[in-house]
Structure 1
Amino acid sequence: MAQTPQQRAANAKFAKSEAAKRGKPQSAIKHKQDYKSPIGKGAIIVLLFALAGGAIFEIARLLNF
């Protein structure tokens, strides 16, 4: 038996509401990738300490402290 226009509209409305309940499919969701640095935190801290310490000593030498 064929659907009437009223049944077709009701089915489309129901399908739309059910799709909204289910949410988006996995393929439509963009997952945020975690950025992982190739250098460890400890190595970055040592580099910053060496650079900042060298800069402080150089400024002190220029100001004759």
Structure 2
Amino acid sequence: MVQTPQQRAANAKFARSEERKMGKPQLQVKRKEDFKSPVSKGWIAVLAFVLCGGLIFELLRLFF
């Protein structure tokens, strides 16, 4: 069945109102998300000390 001009106008009006309700599409909204590491800085320091601390203590023991 073919739309009449009144139906076409009503459909266009309804589509505009629904589009306003939905908001902008996700592609138009650009958010800059800050990178957050899954490991905190404290744990990285502990890990670095465990990995490199033994080497440092051995070097100190050899020279002193």
With the length of structure 1 as denominator, give the TM-score of the two structures.
0.49
With the length of structure 2 as denominator, give the TM-score of the two structures.
0.49
